Structure 1
Amino acid sequence: MLETGGQLWSIGELAALCGVTVRTLHHYDRIGLFRATGRTGSGHRRYSEDDVRHLYRIRALRALGLSLEQVREVLASSPDDAGAVRQLLSAQLSALRNQAEQARRLQHQIQALLDNTGSTMPGVDHFISILEGMTMYEKYFTEEQRTELAQRRAELGPAAVDDAKATFARLVEEGLGYVSANTPVDDPAVLDFARRWDGLGSRFHSNDATKSAARSMWQDNSPELSARLPWPPDRLQELVTYLQRVRDAG
């Protein structure tokens, strides 16, 4: 039966209003997820204000990553009242804030690329390197860990970061010397070296979970990461393996 009170929308009007296709609304209707409150005498769908709110809930839940079946379960188990809508709005706002933070980081990465781009076009390998780094970084570190790493770098400041890079270079050279000499992993000098190596990482990684993520990223992707450093990738991989043996021995 067609409602007579309140504003009503046709399926085309509702699709345009809410940013979906008519085909999507037809699909939702077929699976029983979202149906029009009423119809005209000739059988055309008409949607009410309550239908608009219901469609919002469906789209918001989908935006949060839920499947259509999961959306159906949520809608069936939660009341369609102000409290439930408020909870959903809060969840969607949190998701949007996370997306905004990701966009902010991407903005900084693009700005850094732009700052390093002169009158000539950067090589495609430069762009691929950045894209691979972004994907790798997000794969191994959680959102909280990425935020922590960024905060630690900001707290340390550029001078301390540059000092850490120089210290890292010296440690690599020292470690490669131990590898070349096949120095026993329980040698006191080697154990001290490993402590200094891990201590350098602790400047940036404040907890074991973040340290573990950093080690996993390096171990799984050492050829790609090593290619950006001035030492042969196979030698760096030997050093990583040697360090793990030292940790196990120490």
Structure 2
Amino acid sequence: MLIGDVARHSGVSTRMLRHYDALGLVRPTGRTVGGYREYSAEDVRRIFHVEGLRSLGLSLKQVGRALEDPAFTPSGLVGDLIKWTEDRLERDRELLDRLRAIDASAPTGWQDVLHVVDLMQGLTSPSAARRQQAVLARPDGAPVPADVLAGAALAEADPNVAGALRWALARSGGDGLATLAAGTHSDDVDVRRRAVLTIAEMAEAPGATAVLADALGDPDATVRRHAALALGGRGVTAAVPTLVGMVVEGCNDVEAAEVLGTLSQNPGAADAIMTALADELAAHTADSAVRIRLTQALVELSGTKAREVLRGLAHDEDRAVALVASAFIGVLDERSSEDPGEEGS
């Protein structure tokens, strides 16, 4: 079979077949009277062997060794090829992410593209100060690749850089929420915590409340607490059980009590909060520290019911609880005398 016929049947160009001949990879076993290359059936099979090994990523030199050297075993080489291919795919994924981020920022010119590239390079710096500067030093009017910021927020362990990223995302108009929402389902608990903290600051983002409400069922207590504080501040009563639990456990209890106080201004939530706190007081009759925290939480609540419970606690069998409740009643009575309308609120 002449070289042109081989090229048509194999799909390998005549130029490449000549190159294989020059390298000694596939040398035609015959020549015509006119001196043209003539390939046998075995030569054609070898061409397909060469092409098959090249498809795995072997270089022509490696192909030659694989076909000629019995000691050249595939085990180590295939392992190296797997690692090389994985590295190449990772580089390709990173390139694809960069291109998508630039495309999503809708650049109007190459200067906008360069701003996005600078941001992405800054966010991958080993220096926390450099990463923070990359977020805060963005030029006015430069495009905001929110998904890039969201991805960085999920991975950022430095508190100062993380704070800068949350600040930037809070001003993104809700862009990046989908990336953060996906982070709330990560197997990595640290990623879930960062996701909820970041979403908590995106008050105006449509859909943020629903994502936070879903996080109330997270197996990690810290994630649930972050979500509850954010939801309570938004008036979501579903956060009440977690907030009351925070008071009982002494985890961010002051902050939780303040949020419960804000929620209690909603008549629909006030009764649920009072019932939950009263139930916990009844359940912890022997734990002075818990009862004191619950007493402190009652002070934050609006309305007369909380004050009535406090007056009862002023006569509690636990002397420490009674003293705390009495002191708070005195503060509330003094406040009421300054503002007569407060008692009936």
Of structures 1 and 2, the one scoring higher in RCO (CA 8 A, sep 6+) is 1
Q: Which structure has the greater CA radius of gyration?
A: 2
TM bucket (normalised to shorter chain) is: 0.3 to 0.5
TM-score by length of 1: 0.36
